[in-house]
Structure 1
Amino acid sequence: MINTGNNNEFQNAFSASFSYYFDNFGNEEQFFDSAKRWIDDKYFLIVFGCSNKDHRGQHILLFFSNQYFPVQEIRGYFKEGAYFAFRSDLFTGYSLRNKLKEFGFLEYSIQESMILSNNDYRLIKNIFELIDLETKMPMSETQSKILISYLDLLLQHMQRFYQQLMEDKLNEFRALQKDFMSELHTLFDSKRKCLFLLPSLTLLSRKLNCTTRFLNDVSLKTSKNTAQYHIDNFIVKIAKELLAETDLSVAEIAKKMQFDQPQSLTRLFKKKTRISPLDYRISII
């Protein structure tokens, strides 16, 4: 991997006034000792490393934040590697929030991460070496521009890797999409015409053991619509059936569908159909 010195004293001083830091690690404990400090200081980490022998020495590229740093899942995963730590205020005009929206894979779990091919490994290694060299240069506006270009280049390549992964494992993702739709329908009690639980992206992703962003991306890839789109359509479909087949009020229907407030059902119904539940009932009489 990349050869850089490990200076804890410098690292502690650095975190007080700098927005980025690059370092390598030769073992798991070395990684955790430094990584947790950066995470606690609300830095983001992009980690490029070699997994341990149980994972056959494969190379991986992962993203961590203070919202997602699953220590127990990561333990035993890394053998050695390097990381680039940076805060959200890394550079003026650089919005990490927008990047998180643009690059959904940054919100994937470690189980959803990809193994790099030999060619991908060499490419990412080169980019990490460029980042390493640039972080050693004197701070300047030019350095900021160069680092942000490297970071964007890294994220763009990660995006391409995941897009290719989606193509290579399309059949697996279609099976996951089928399971998602099946789980969604199991929440409906057809005899009592009610929902056991109000469907949500969080609920269904937990049932399927994946992250909400991953489930949405898989659904988008396999059905051209997000998982949330299917959830909303499912809820509105049931509401339409109850409006057409019963004399229940909107409040009573909302209760049968496990909504806390009738207004929540009304808002969703109007969003999907552009008319209120009562107007829909009138239109089909």
Structure 2
Amino acid sequence: MEKLTSVTQFNTIRGQITHHPMMTVLDQSQSCMVWSKPYLSELFIIFLKDIRCEDFKYGRTHYDYEGDTLLFISPGQIFGIEPVEEKLIQPTGWVIAFHPDFIRGTHLGKTISSYPFFHYHSHEALHVSSFEKEMIVDNMQKIRQELEGRIDKHSRMIVINAIELLLSYCTRFYDRQFITRENLNRDVLARFEHLLYEYFQSEKPQLIGTPTVSYCAEQLHFSANYFGDLIKKETGKTAQEYIKDKIIEISKERILDISQSISEIAYELGFKHPSHFTRLFKQKVGISPVEYRSISV
């Protein structure tokens, strides 16, 4: 695995000129062939890929789409090609890469962590229409023109503003993708419900505690960020709120069984301390579990 530490290194691998040491925009059709290998990135990278590339490794999974797709990589992530043996491949599409120091101290530097798609998995990539692709490529070309022109005191902020505009477009396009995948999302919600049902029917709560968003996302083969965004858009609740509501729903049924104490129910649901369960129940229902039992039984 090669460590990707600079924009100059990124450009050199592709045989392209570096116009700015911390920021680059490349038309990959002008890149030379590169050796297939995985990279550990210290850069923010946005790939716009326009052909099928099933060998592309992105995080823990493989990119295997046809058509125009955006992939987002943040520092600390692994990407690249992992074939059976090394070979030369021709990069395609467009790519933006910039070092974190390029945006440090700016509005984007403070807010880039709020763009969750930099932590999505490959099967959660953004698929764009022809019209959306035109907008993205136009934005990338304008950034490239600014970088290749005369650099002055305004250049950095103009480029950073253009990156923010691009990320705003991507946020909009992801919202559209969540809507157009409505049937698929309903299936995920049903699987989430089933996962929670099976979880509380097992001994897992006593062994590992109440289910976390990360656990549920992993079991359903999503990144925690994408899963949380999907549940929020489908239900209006965060995934954590959804789990808490399910805990309350199940606990109401068990509270009616007077053979169990409230503490026993709390432990069965995965709470280390019954007081934490009582606090959550009162927050959600308005009364304590003991009070709920007294008026319900």
TM-score band (shorter)?
A: 0.7 to 0.9
Q: Which amino acid aligns with 1:129?
A: Q
1:52 aligns with 2:55: no
Match of 1:7, SS? helix
Identity across aligned pairs (percent)? 23
Hey, which of these two has a bigger chunk of helix by percent?
A: 1
In the alignment, structure 1 segments of 5+ residues that lack a partner are none
1:181/1:72 CA distance change after superposition, 3 Å: farther
TM-score by length of 1: 0.74
Equivalent residues of 1:22, 1:85 under 8 A apart: yes
In the alignment, structure 2 segments of 5+ residues that lack a partner are 1-9, 55-63
1:64/1:270 CA distance change after superposition, 3 Å: farther
1:181 aligns with 2:193: yes
Q: Which amino acid aligns with 1:69?
A: I
Say which of 181, 197, 218 aligns to 1:169.
181
Say which of 78, 82, 105 aligns to 1:69.
78
Equivalent residues of 2:248, 2:284 under 8 A apart: yes
Say which of 205, 218, 222 aligns to 2:230.
218
Aligned to 1:20: 23
Bigger shift: residues 168-177 or 85-94: 85-94
Aligned to 1:237: 249
1:203/1:6 CA distance change after superposition, 3 Å: closer
- Please state how far the C-alpha of 1:127 moved relative to its aligned partner: 1.1
Match of 1:199, SS? coil
Structure-2 separation of matches of 1:264 and 1:71: 45
Aligned to 1:148: 160
Structure-1 separation of matches of 2:196 and 2:73: 30
Aligned to 1:200: 212
1:216/1:167 CA distance change after superposition, 3 Å: same
Equivalent residues of 2:52, 2:66 under 8 A apart: yes
Structure-1 separation of matches of 2:285 and 2:82: 43
Aligned to 1:117: 129
- Cα deviation 1:110-144 (Å, max 9, x = unaligned): 11113222222222111111122222345544112
- Cα deviation 1:130-177 (Å, max 9, x = unaligned): 122222345544112211221111112112222222222211211221
1:139/1:252 CA distance change after superposition, 3 Å: farther
